[in-house]
Structures are given as structure tokens and as C-alpha cells.
Amino acid sequence: MPPRSTVKSLPPEIKAALDRLLALDDMTIDQLVEHLAQLGADLSRSAVGRYTQNYKQVAAKIKQFKEMSKAFANDLGTAVESDAHQVIVQMLHTMLMRTGMAELENDKPTITPKDLMMLSASIKNLMGSVKDRQVIQEKERILARQAAAKDAASTMKEAGLSAEQIRFWREDFLGVKPKPKET
């Protein structure tokens, strides 16, 4: 097993500073070594160069994963409305990241990009059917509320309530608006 990277052995605050500088991508290896020396880290140019090269590879992979995630999100649709949808999208994102991390570590991914695309299409279909079911359930709730309001109105009329009182209970309290009159 190769020895641990001297850069990875740095105190977390110095390593974080190096990572921030690498993210800016505006310093040479020599400038990075000099800056790290000013922070109290004694690293060789080759150690910083290897770490920089690895950092750039990881950054490129992360950028690629973000683009793939965007593609999946676009394919699934951007309106994630229910908690169930959010969980499904998060699971897909987690699988995507695990696959990407396995690639970064030179391991064989447990799921291929093709599998992820097929899974994405299946999830899109599932989410569409869930949306259809939600629309049907909402229509059923509206019909049930209208039936309850109709029954309540006849009971209130029998109890002697005025038309204005019945309108209040039906429209304002139950939220059932009268159907528009056809002309």
C-alpha cells in the first residue's frame, strides 16, 4: 500500500486553504508551495503537484456528475411536489454520486450509467402515475365536499337558516363555490 499523501496529512485548516486556492485555479505549483510554506506546511513541489493533479481530476468528475444530475432532473421534470417524489429523486442522486465515487476510486461501479438512465425513465413514469392519482384523489375530495355541502344545505334549510347563512356555511366555511350557471 502506498504511503499516505503528505498533503492529506496536513492540518484541516491548511488543507482547506489549499483546496480553496486550487478551486480558484489561478496559482502555479511553485506559488502554491510557497503559500503553504508561509502557512507553516513544508511540502515538496512533487507532493503538491500530485495532489493538484488529483484535485483537478476529482473536480472534473464532480462537474460531470453535476451535469448528469441536471440531465436526470430535466428528464424527471423540475416540479418535485410530494415528499415521496423528493425521496425518489434524492435516492437517484445518491446512486449517481456513489457510481461516480466508485469511478474516482477506480472501483467497478455497482450500477452503470445506462442503468441509471433506465432507472430515471422508470422513476419519471412512476412520478407521472403518482401525479395522475393525486389529481383523481383531489377530484374525489371536491365531489365529496360538494355532496356534504348539499346535504348540509338541505339540513340547514330544514332547521330554518336563511339563504345568506347557508351560503356562508357552504361557501365560506366548507369552501364549496356554486357552479357557474350555464347560458
Domain spans of the chain, in order of start: 1-63
Instruction: Write down the residue that cell numbers 357557474 correspond to.
Output: 180
pLDDT for 78 equals: 45
pLDDT for 158 equals: 84
Full pLDDT tens readout for the chain, 183 residues? 556 678 888 888 998 899 899 989 899 999 999 999 999 998 999 999 999 998 888 788 777 766 766 666 665 554 445 666 666 667 776 777 777 667 666 666 666 777 777 777 777 776 676 677 778 888 888 888 788 878 888 888 888 888 888 888 878 877 777 776 665
pLDDT for 63 equals: 76
Q: What's CA 13's distance to the chain center, in Å?
A: 29
pTM: 0.45
pLDDT for 137 equals: 80
- For the four alpha carbons of 132, 127, 80 and 137, in that order, the dihedral sign comes to positive
Record the cell numbers describing residue 121, joined without a space: 425513465
> Which among 132, 143, 57, 139 is positioned nearest to 100, based on CA atoms?
57
The DSSP code for 183 is -
- What single-letter amino acid sits at 97? M
Side-chain half-sphere exposure of 7, counting CA atoms within 13 A: 21
